[in-house]
């Protein structure tokens, strides 16, 4: 689905579900001023078209044995599409990896990881990352605190406003 096809009601549904994905269909319908059957149909369409990609529970890291999170900044020695793809697939398959971000600049990847402790972090970096031949350099930064917004900003109305002002 192209972002330009989200109408006012779709945008309101997306915003409401980002704030509380556990909201009942009846509550959601009331919030966006739709009949429950119409609301349910729209949400199903947004899921089918890939606008809504999932509904998640946020879990306390310590509840599942995570004592440490870190960002790994990785620079590859070669930059062929195959090398980049292979590295990204390898890293994405590691259970300690929460996010893999391919970036431009001095580093090629930022990898957010979660591990039980510093020993597990060292083992992950040395055994699963630095040992790979395509990896030229790794920098590790410990995460002392983390806040993630569960809501993506909606810039669709902003684009329309700018085009009207021009």
Q: pLDDT of 8-57, one tens digit each?
A: 999 999 999 998 999 999 999 999 999 999 999 999 999 999 999 998 88
- Looking at CATH, the fold of the domain delimited by 3-57 is given as Arc Repressor Mutant, subunit A (1.10.10)
Output phi, psi for 97, to 5 deg: -85, 125
Domains 3-57 and 61-143 equal at CATH topology level = no
Asked whether the beta carbons of 22 and 16 are under 8 A apart, the reply is no
Domain boundaries, the chain: 3-57, 61-143
Q: What is the mean pLDDT of the chain?
A: 91
User: pLDDT digit string (tens) for 109-161?
Assistant: 999 999 999 999 999 999 999 999 999 999 999 999 988 887 888 887 655 55
**CATH code that applies to domain 61-143:** 3.30.70.920
């Amino acid at each position: 689905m192209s972002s330009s096809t989200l109408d006012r009601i779709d945008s309101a549904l997306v915003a409401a579900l980002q704030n509380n994905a556990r909201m009942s269909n009846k509550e959601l319908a009331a919030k966006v001023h739709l009949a429950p059957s119409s609301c349910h149909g729209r949400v199903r369409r947004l899921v089918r078209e890939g606008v809504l990609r999932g509904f998640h529970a946020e879990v306390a890291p310590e509840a599942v044995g995570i004592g440490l999170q870190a960002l790994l900044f990785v620079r590859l020695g070669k930059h062929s599409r195959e090398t980049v793809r292979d590295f990204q697939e390898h890293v994405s398959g590691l259970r300690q990896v929460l996010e893999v971000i391919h970036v431009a600049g001095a580093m090629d990847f930022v990898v957010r990881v979660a591990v039980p402790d510093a020993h597990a972090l060292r083992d992950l970096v040395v055994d699963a990352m630095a040992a790979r031949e395509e990896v030229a350099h790794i920098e590790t930064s410990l995460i002392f605190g983390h806040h993630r917004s569960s809501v993506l900003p909606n810039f669709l109305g902003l684009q329309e406003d700018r085009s009207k002002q021009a």
